[in-house]
Amino acid sequence: MIYRSGQKVLVQGITGKQGTFWSQKMMEMGTSVVAGVNPKRAGETHLGVPVFASAVEATKQIPCDLSVIFVPPMLARDAIVDAIDAGVGCVVVLTEHIPAQHVLEIHARAKRAGCRIVGPNTAGIVTPGEGFVGIMPGHNQNIFKPGHIGVISRSGSLGTLICLNLTRAGLGQSAFLGIGGDPMIGTTTRDALEALDRDERTHAIAMIGEIGGTMEEEAAEYARTMKKPIASFIAGRSSPPDKKMGHAGAIVTGGRGGYASKREALEQAGVRVVDTPHEIALALQGVYA
C-alpha cells in the first residue's frame, strides 16, 4: 500500500473532470500512470495514455500494480470488481457513499483475490519524491517533502495539515497513507501501522485518528510491540457521545471508540498523544533531537 517509484497505475474514470485533473498532477509528480478506463471512450488516448473499456482489457496489454477509482458511488462496485478481476494488487477507492451491500461484496472479493483495498472514502497515498495516487496534494512541495516520518490518517484534510506541519518543521514524510473515513474500509489503522513498521525508510510515525470505531484501540495493541516512536492526534475530543460526527465511521457508543478510550489505549501502548495537530511535529522533532 506504500507507493514506490515505477509502480504502474491504472486510472478508472480518467476522462472525467476529477480524473483528468488529478491524473495530470500525479504524472507531474512522477507517478507512472500507464492507462485509463472509460467504456464509452475505449480506443482513445487521453493525457497521453490509452483508454480501455475495462480494467481487465487494460491489464491484458499493460500490467498494472495499482488502480485508482474516480467513479460515482452507484458505479463504483463494478469498477472495483473489474480491477480485482484484472489482478490489480491494490485498489485505491476515493469514492464515498458506496452502498453498504456493495462495500461488503467488494471486501469479500478482494480478500479472496489477495487484493489490497485502500478506502473507500480515502484521499489516497503519497510517497514524497516518488509519486502519489489519489487526491492528496502530493505534487505540492510546500506540503510534502521526502523525510522519515510515516503518516496515517483517516481524514485527508487533517492528514494534509499534519504533513504541512512536518514539512515546515524540516522533517518531511516517508509515506502518507490515507486509510479512508467510511465505517467499512479495506485497510485499517493497524494495517497501515504494520506497513510503516516494516518500511526501512520510516523512522517514526504520526497517527491521526478520530472518534468512532475501534481502529485506534486495535492499533494500540500492535504499537506495544514496536520500537519506532509514534505520536498521535485524535480528532473529536469535544464531540457529544452517541452522535455521528463527520465521517461515516465517527460514531461512539458505550465509551468504546470514544476519545478517552482511544487516548488511554494508545498511551498505555507507549504512544505520545498530543492535544492539537500542531504538536505532532513538535513531538517528533523531540525524537530526532
Which positions are catalytic?
247
Cβ–Cβ under 8 Å, residues 251 and 244? yes
